[in-house]
Amino acid sequence: MTSDEKKAFLLLKSVIFHYHGLDEDEQRLLDETAREFDAEEELKWANEFIATDYISAFERAREYLNKVIGRLDKNRRLEYLDQVWKANNRKGYITEMEATAMLKLAKDWQVENELIELVKR
């Protein structure tokens, strides 16, 4: 995974977790992901991206993610969304707002039906 992909993946995960306000479990999951991918700087970048303007963070992230992740192959785009979905399950719940945000991105990346099928399993 390149540094740009690490930034994009951590921004994706972080912006979804921030959608309703980041809690301690979500921060722990983000920190674990950053350690797993040796991406502490990329996580710092993602958090600063969100903090710049919390209100517009999702739409700004969506634009950025469409440029970086949107150009990857279909399986990779789906894999990133699936990993974030599973991370939400690990914390014990997925809010309607988080699910809707992931579905918007899935639609942007033309993997909406595939994500829905994965979620059904």
The number of folded domains in the chain is: 1
Domain containing 84 equals: 3-120
Q: What long-range pairs does 63-68 form, CB within 8 A, spacing at least 24? A: 64/8, 64/11, 65/8, 65/11, 65/12, 65/105, 65/108, 66/108, 66/109, 68/4, 68/5, 68/7, 68/8
pLDDT classification of 22: cutoffs 50, 70, 90 = confident
For range 58-85, the mean pLDDT? 94
pLDDT digits (tens, 9 = 90+) for 72-82: 999 999 999 99
**DSSP-assigned letters across all residues of 14-74:** HHHHHTT---HHHHHHHHHHHHHTT-HHHHHHHHHHHHH-TTTHHHHHHHHHHHHTTTS-H
pTM: 0.92
pLDDT classification of 95: cutoffs 50, 70, 90 = confident
The radius of gyration computed from the CA coordinates of the chain, to the nearest angstrom, equals 13
